[in-house]
Amino acid sequence: MKRATFAIPGDIATLSGGYGYDRRIIAELRRREWNIDVVGLGDGFPFPDAVQTAIAFDRLLAVPEGESLVIDGLAFGALPGAAEALCQRPIVALVHHPLALETGLARQDADRLAASERAALSFARSVVATSATTARLLTADFDVPPDRIGVVVPGTDRAPFATGSDGTAVQLLAVGANVARKGFDLLVEALAPLAALPWHLTIAGGRNRDADAVARLDAAIARHRLQDRIESVGAVSAERLSEFYAKADLFVLASFYEGYGMAYAEAIARGLPVIGTTGGAISEVVPLEAGRLVPPGDVAALSSALHDMIADRDLRLRMTAGSRAAAARLPTWEDSGNRFAALLGRLA
| Domain containing residue 191: CATH number | 3.40.50.2000
Q: Are residues 184 and 88 in the same domain?
A: no
The residue among 99, 111, 112 whose CA lies nearest residue 72 is 99
The pLDDT value given to residue 4: 94
170 exposure class (CB count in 10 Å sphere: 0-12, 13-18, 19+): buried
Model confidence at 348: pLDDT above 70: no
Q: Cα separation of 81 and 322, whole Å?
A: 47
Give the Å distances, CA to CA, from 214 to 9, 65, 190, 261.
24, 44, 17, 21
The pLDDT value given to residue 63: 94
Q: CA angle, 276 as apex, 275 and 282 as ends, to 5°? A: 130
Q: Are residues 94 and 175 in the same domain?
A: no
Q: Are residues 101 and 193 in the same domain?
A: no
Banded pLDDT at 94 (limits 50, 70, 90): very high
Q: Is residue 163 part of a domain?
A: no
pLDDT digits (tens, 9 = 90+) for 35-85: 999 999 999 999 999 999 999 999 999 999 888 999 999 999 999 999 999
The pLDDT value given to residue 15: 81
Q: Is residue 165 part of a domain?
A: no
Q: Are residues 177 and 149 in the same domain?
A: no
Q: Are residues 44 and 144 in the same domain?
A: yes
Q: Is residue 301 part of a domain?
A: yes
Total domains, the chain = 2
Q: H-helix or E-strand containing 299?
A: helix 299-311
Q: Is residue 162 part of a domain?
A: no
Banded pLDDT at 267 (limits 50, 70, 90): very high
Q: Are residues 203 and 314 in the same domain?
A: yes
Contact 128, 340 (CB under 8 A): yes
The three-class DSSP label of residue 292 is strand
The pLDDT value given to residue 16: 84
pLDDT digits (tens, 9 = 90+) for 150-201: 999 999 999 999 999 987 899 999 999 999 999 999 999 999 999 999 999 9
Average pLDDT on 211-228 reads 97
Q: Is residue 161 part of a domain?
A: no
Q: Cα separation of 87 and 326, whole Å?
A: 41
Q: Are residues 129 and 180 in the same domain?
A: no
Model confidence at 313: pLDDT above 70: yes
Q: Are residues 89 and 175 in the same domain?
A: no
Model confidence at 92: pLDDT above 80: yes
Average pLDDT of the chain?
95
Banded pLDDT at 318 (limits 50, 70, 90): very high
Torsion of CA 203, 206, 208, 211, to 10 degrees: -30
Q: Is residue 164 part of a domain?
A: no
Q: Which domain holds residue 9?
A: 2-155+331-347
The pLDDT value given to residue 175: 97
The pLDDT value given to residue 132: 97
Contact 77, 18 (CB under 8 A): no
Q: Are residues 190 and 291 in the same domain?
A: yes
Task: Find the distance separating the first CA and the last CA of the chain, reported in whole Å.
Answer: 12
Model confidence at 306: pLDDT above 90: yes
Handedness of CA 36, 40, 44, 48 (dihedral sign): negative
The pLDDT value given to residue 130: 97
Q: Is residue 289 part of a domain?
A: yes
Quick one: DSSP state of residue 41? -
Model confidence at 215: pLDDT above 70: yes
**Strand order through the sheet with 199-204:** 230-234, 199-204, 170-175, 250-252, 274-277, 291-294
- DSSP of 88-124: TS-EEEEESS-GGGSTT--HHHHHHHHHHHHHHHTT-
Total length of the chain: 348
Q: Are residues 88 and 191 in the same domain?
A: no
pLDDT digits (tens, 9 = 90+) for 15-27: 888 999 999 999 9
Q: Are residues 142 and 275 in the same domain?
A: no
Q: Is residue 277 part of a domain?
A: yes
pLDDT digits (tens, 9 = 90+) for 97-121: 999 999 989 999 999 999 999 999 9
Q: Are residues 111 and 131 in the same domain?
A: yes
Q: Where are the beta strands (DSSP E) in 163-273?
A: 170-175, 199-204, 230-234, 250-252
The pLDDT value given to residue 168: 87
The pLDDT value given to residue 308: 97
